[in-house]
Amino acid sequence: MTRLRLAPALLLALAALPASAQSQTLRIHAPPAGKAFWTHLNDDFTVRVRVPGGEWQDLYEYDVKVDLDRPQDASMVAFDMAGPVEVSVKKNNGDVRRVEVRPTSAGVKARLVGNTAYFRLDRPAKLSIEFDGDRLHNLHLFADAPEPELPPPGPGVVYFGPGVHPLPEGQKSFRIPSNTTVVVAGGALVQGNIEIRDAENVRVIGHGIIDRPEQGITIANSRNVTIDGPIFIDPNHYTVACGQSSNVTVRDVKSFSASSWSDGLDFMSCSDVRIDGVFMRNSDDTIAVYGSRWDYRGDARNYLVTNSILWADIAHPINIGLHGNAEAPEVLENLVFRNIDVLGHDEDDRNYQGVMAISNSDNNLVRNVRFEDIRIDSIEEGMLFNLRVLFNPKYSHAPGRGIEDVTIRNVGFKGGDINRPVIAGYSADRIVRGVTIENVTVGGAPLRRSDIDVGQFVEGLTVK
């Protein structure tokens, strides 16, 4: 079905309000032009937004691939808001009986009129709108805070404005030097890997899209790097691959992937990392923290992951400790995961299950880890947590050295048929020590020690 679209210039105005008030409240980025308009469009929904009292404005619905099991076409829309807005989401095909807006913690209730859901947003939000329980062809809505002031093109600035930006012929990536700000402005489609290697003081900012790259952003042997705002659609590999780097901030990133090895945010031998306000829907681990891997070497310490939404169509939402340097053992420590909504976890292989997983091998020592204030909405196949010192025959060169001082606090799972969580050491000198589980509930009922499969070589387990 083809429907009439407003010209891009008209998408930037609300007729009922002064232009100055409009620009301060709602900004809609122009859709891609030409062939890209049709190749990126998903027509499952008609989505409109307005300032209360203004006229409805049509959004462009991007097609995004989800779920590697059987890759599906879901939808995504995005806009910026600085005050209350109203949203209309019409499902274009089939009858509708109910609608759900997740995460529940966002507190958004939709009113269904025929095939159209209406709701109000008083603050920025990252949401999944699902009709009749369909989570494979759903609408992802990103209502961002206003795009920060972006520097214009000039020295020290790589600028991608609205429009399509393919890699220049013969280049494998957009290579970014030190002391550079990369602007991916709203309405931009950047079609290639952004590579930050042997660099410092680099920012990648803006609400544009990194569109179907081989890999999203590579950060290697670098420091003082910030990624703030872009959307990643269908990278073939990782969204952000970070190796042997420090002082890295990933903020307000949104990501979709449905390819093999298409992890979200992977960190190898990195320290002093901050992840804040991300939305990751990936077909492998959404966030992974490792020691050595490939050419990267060194410990991993001081992570804060907060205010984020994770959705693992395959594998773990959070995975820690699998890779390291068996010949020169490393430490992974001081890792905090706080205020997180998990919208999905699905993994057929028991060895890779766990919303919160510490799969410790390669002589790593993992210690001082906190998971707190985590709301788990759906587990299709999997378990709450999986804390093991192990030898993985597919990846490991040695078992892990041990896991110490882990706290799982204020975690709630809505309930369902899942596997029992696991805690297990490897041997008498490779143990799990000092795990505290406090206020963890399943379907509203407290998790008890008897609900956990506690293996050998576990000391100091407290469940309260």
Residue 217: C-alpha distances to residues 235, 265, 396 (Å): 10, 10, 26
Tell me the pLDDT tens digit for each residue of 286-337.
Answer: 999 999 999 999 999 999 999 999 999 999 999 999 999 999 999 999 999 9
Is pTM beyond 0.85? Reply is yes
- Structural tokens at position 310: 């994770």
- Structural tokens at position 412: 């709630």
Strand, coil or helix: what is 326?
Answer: coil
Does residue 198 belong to any structural domain of this protein? no
Report pLDDT for 23: 52
Does residue 213 belong to any structural domain of this protein? no
Kindly state whether residues 242 and 96 are assigned to the same domain. Answer: no
Kindly state whether residues 136 and 239 are assigned to the same domain. Answer: no
Kindly state whether residues 131 and 242 are assigned to the same domain. Answer: no
Does residue 218 belong to any structural domain of this protein? no
Kindly state whether residues 131 and 261 are assigned to the same domain. Answer: no
Report pLDDT for 148: 85
Domain boundary among 144, 171, 199: 144
Per the CB < 8 A criterion, the answer to whether 240 and 270 are in contact is no
Total structural domains in the chain?
2
| Residue indicated by tokens 């307000």 | 252
**Would you call 302 exposed, middle or buried from its count of C-beta atoms within 10 A (0-12, 13-18, 19+)?**
middle
Does residue 209 belong to any structural domain of this protein? no
Domain boundary among 102, 121, 144: 144
**Separation CA 225–CA 241 (nearest Å):** 13
Report pLDDT for 106: 97
Kindly state whether residues 335 and 450 are assigned to the same domain. Answer: yes
Domain that holds residue 109: 14-144
Kindly state whether residues 30 and 135 are assigned to the same domain. Answer: yes
Does residue 212 belong to any structural domain of this protein? no
Kindly state whether residues 277 and 383 are assigned to the same domain. Answer: yes
Kindly state whether residues 249 and 359 are assigned to the same domain. Answer: yes
Report pLDDT for 25: 87
Kindly state whether residues 270 and 376 are assigned to the same domain. Answer: yes
Does residue 200 belong to any structural domain of this protein? no
Kindly state whether residues 303 and 420 are assigned to the same domain. Answer: yes
Kindly state whether residues 336 and 445 are assigned to the same domain. Answer: yes
Per the CB < 8 A criterion, the answer to whether 87 and 116 are in contact is no
Kindly state whether residues 138 and 240 are assigned to the same domain. Answer: no
Supply φ then ψ for residue 418, to 5 degrees: -135, 165
The stretches in the chain having pLDDT less than 70 are: 1-24
> What CATH number should be reported for the domain holding residue 68?
2.60.350.10
Instruction: Indicate the length of the chain as a whole number.
Output: 464
Report pLDDT for 6: 31
CB atoms within 10 A of CB 36: 15
Domain boundary among 113, 144, 175: 144
Does residue 171 belong to any structural domain of this protein? no
Does residue 190 belong to any structural domain of this protein? no
